[in-house]
Amino acid sequence: MSENYVHEYFDRKSSEWNIISFLEECDAETFTNKIGYYLTSLESIIDKKDGNRSIKARELHDRYKQASSEFF
């Protein structure tokens, strides 16, 4: 997967993004791959520094990282 990969899910308005709907719509075979696509996409959007999209991507990425560190 390319560093600049952004899943097509993120073509919609950033106000509509959430991990649950991403996981439901992503067609990757495994949960691990879906999470990989999710995080890689968010990181690519953050790196582009594209205003509100980047802010929302940072928020979701940070939320995922915090939740996963608390869970494990």
- Give the count of domains, the chain: 1
To the nearest 10 degrees (0 to 180), the angle between helices 31-48 and 51-71 is: 140
Task: pLDDT tens for the chain, 72 residues: list them.
Answer: 546 789 999 999 999 999 999 999 999 999 999 999 999 999 999 999 879 999 999 999 999 999 988 776
Do the domain assignments include residue 1? no
Do the domain assignments include residue 2? no
pLDDT for 72 equals: 64
What is the 8-class DSSP label of residue 35?
Answer: H
Distance CA(8)–CA(37), nearest Å, equals 10
Do the domain assignments include residue 40? yes
For the entire predicted model, the pTM comes to 0.87
Q: Provide Rg for the chain, Cα atoms.
A: 12
